[in-house]
Amino acid sequence: MKDIFLKKQILKRPDELKRHYDVVIIGGGSHGLATAYYLATHHGITNVAILEKSYIGSGAAGRNTTIIRANYRTPEGAAFYKQSVELYERLSGELDFNLMFSQHGHFTLAHSDRSLVVQQERAEVNKLLGIDSYVIDAKEVKKLCPQINISTDVTWPIQGALYHPPGGIIRHDAVVWGFAKQVTRAGIEIHQNVEVTGFDISNGRVHGVKTTKGDVSCGVVLSATAGWSSIVAKMAGVPLPIIGSILQAFVTEPVKPFLDKIIVSAQMHIYCSQTDRGEFLIGAEVEPYPTYSNKGTFPFVEYACRHVLELFPQLHATKILRHWTGLCDMSPDYSPIMGLTELDGFLVDCGWGTYGFKAAPIVGVTLAELIAKGKTPALIEPFKLDRFYTDTLVSEAAAAAVSH
């Protein structure tokens, strides 16, 4: 009995940095950790260091609203996210860590004819790729989610929704810890409180990284630094088409469970779900100006409450418990930027904006394959940085600007 309550330290802290690693991953968020995990498990590459300037999960990985779904708008995007959802479905067992993934269904509400057309288009793309996703009318919304207010005496009455049954929420901290546990077991070093401050570059190739704990040489560097990507890439002299902003969210005090669905309103720019702890988790879209300031704003809370109360008037007396923000690296087409750059040995994983958490496992699988084999996997070919020089963008705005 006693050992159930024994504090097990799952994360062994490595000592000094070694002088050389085959692969250095900058950023101990969900993407950096997932890439390390698949480098070890799929390719047996374990002379790897993850360098994290703060603690693992201190960035967006520990701040996101954990929506996992595959109902994207473009065939490239939808096919990619579909594989990630499937990996997440098996991940608790694989990592031997309960990630509390609950797939209870995801609604993208439409409040106008135009919006219904967009949702219909998404449903068609999804159907072709074998993704469970279809449009329903307001009555069916009410049947599947009896708690929602479909009356017409509101600002934007509900006309219907894109319904995505496998959409769900997960415990984000557990994803971070689960990956970290297995990565450490595989012999990969996670160095927290080590910030990358520069690179050793010559002849168009990166040979090592400079850090606050000394320099190390390496074969390949992956920057998986999300909201900090522009800063890190600038040190390597690689320009990025990224604008940083913040996304905010808040939770209410816990109440008895009464909502098992995820509700997103594309018109009102808000979304909500109820966590396993009973809190209502509510978010909106990014602040409309670039910033690195993680200070929450009052207008966001006011705006989100006003609109959520139209969908769930029952919440009118519920108090707000916590409110926080996280940095988001927004790309021009709302699609990620992954893989090789013009600097040899320097790989990026960014442009994840407000939607990257759901992609962590497939990012890990594909980037690990790219690092191990040196060839870009077909699944992430459309997302290379080069597309901004060749005008081959993958516009995901219709499915990713508000739903995260």
Partner 1 sequence: MLVTCPNCGPREVQELRCAGESTTRPKTTPTQRELNEYIYFRANEAGLQREWWFCRACEDWFLAERNTVTNEVSRTWHPARSPEGSAR
**Contact (Cβ atoms closer than 8 angstroms) between residue 196 and residue 190:** no
Nearer to ligand FAD, 312 or 334 (CB): 334
Q: Which partner, ligand FAD, partner 1, none, binds residue 350 by CB below 5 to 8 Å per kind?
A: none
Residue list 209-238, contact with partner 1 (CB under 8 A): 230-231, 234
Nearest to 167 by CA among 289, 299, 28, 260: 260
CB of 234 to partner 1, least distance (A): 8
Please identify, using beta-carbon distances, which residue of 123 and 176 lies nearer to ligand FAD.
176
Q: Which does 160 bind (CB under 5 to 8 A by kind): ligand FAD, partner 1, none?
A: none
Binding partner 1 (rule: CB under 8 A), the pick from 144, 186, 201, 243 is 243
Tokens of 221: 């560097």
127 Cβ partners below 8 Å, 6+ apart? 133, 134
3-state secondary structure of 319: coil
Contact 57, 173 (CB under 8 A): yes
For residues 131 and 70, the answer to whether their CB atoms sit within 8 Å is yes
* Residue 369 touches which of ligand FAD, partner 1, none (Cβ within 5-8 Å per kind): none
Judged by CB under 8 A, the number of residues near partner 1 is: 22
- Which segment (154-162, 172-180, 277-285, 290-298) binds partner 1 by CB under 8 A? 290-298
DSSP element (H, E) containing 338: strand 337-340
User: Residue 59 and residue 77: Cα distance in Å, rounded?
Assistant: 24
> Which of partner 1, ligand FAD, none does residue 389 bind to, with CB < 5 to 8 Å depending on kind?
partner 1
User: What's CA 186's distance to the chain center, in Å?
Assistant: 24
Q: What is the closest distance, in whole angstroms, from the C-beta atom of residue 263 to ligand FAD in the complex? A: 13
Question: Is residue 314 close enough to count as binding partner 1 by CB under 8 A?
Answer: no
- Determine contact, residues 379/359, Cβ cutoff 8 Å: no
Tokens of 101: 């993934």
Within 10 angstroms of residue 389's Cβ, the number of other Cβ atoms is 10
Amino acid at the residue 314: Q
Q: Which of 240, 266, 284, 328 binds partner 1 (CB under 8 A)?
A: 240
59 binds, among partner 1, ligand FAD, none (CB under 5 to 8 A by kind): ligand FAD
384 makes contact, choosing from ligand FAD, partner 1, none, with CB < 5 to 8 Å by partner type, with none
CA distance 285 to 365: 29
Residue 159, contacted partner among partner 1, ligand FAD, none, CB below 5-8 A by kind: none
Site for partner 1 contains 291 (CB under 8 A): yes
- Closer by beta carbon to partner 1, 174 or else 394: 394
| Residue placing its CB nearer to ligand FAD in the complex, 145 or 232 | 232
Please say which residue, 246 or 367, places its beta carbon nearer to partner 1.
246
Under the binding rule (CB under 8 A), the answer on residue 296 touching partner 1 is no
Chain contacts with ligand FAD (rule: CB under 6 A): 26-32, 51-54, 58-61, 63-67, 195-196, 224-228, 232, 247, 249, 283, 326, 328, 352, 354-358, 404
**Contacts to partner 1 from residues 318-377, by CB under 8 A:** 332
Angle, helices 75-95 vs 172-185, to 10°: value is 70
Between 54 and 151, whose beta carbon lies closer to ligand FAD?
54
Q: Answer yes or no: are the C-beta atoms of 348 and 339 closer than 8 Å.
A: yes
Give the position of tokens 């560097």. Answer: 221
Contacts of 4 by beta carbon, 8 Å cutoff, 6+ apart: none
Q: Residues with Cβ < 8 Å from 37, sequence gap 6 or more?
A: 179, 182, 183, 186, 364
Nearer to ligand FAD by Cβ, of 195 and 215: the residue is: 195
Q: What is the DSSP string of 158-202?
A: --EEEEETT-EE--HHHHHHHHHHHHHHTT-EEEET--EEEEEEE
Query: Which residues within the stretch 377-396 sit at the binding site for partner 1 (CB under 8 A)?
Result: 388-389, 391
Q: Which one of partner 1, ligand FAD, none is in contact with 73 (Cβ closer than 5 to 8 A by kind)?
A: none
289 binds, options partner 1, ligand FAD, none, Cβ within 5 to 8 A by partner type = partner 1
The DSSP output letter for 18 is: P
By CB under 8 A, name the one of 213, 258, 292, 344 that touches partner 1.
Answer: 292
What are the residues binding partner 1 (CB under 8 A)?
230-231, 234, 239-244, 288-293, 295, 297, 299, 332, 388-389, 391
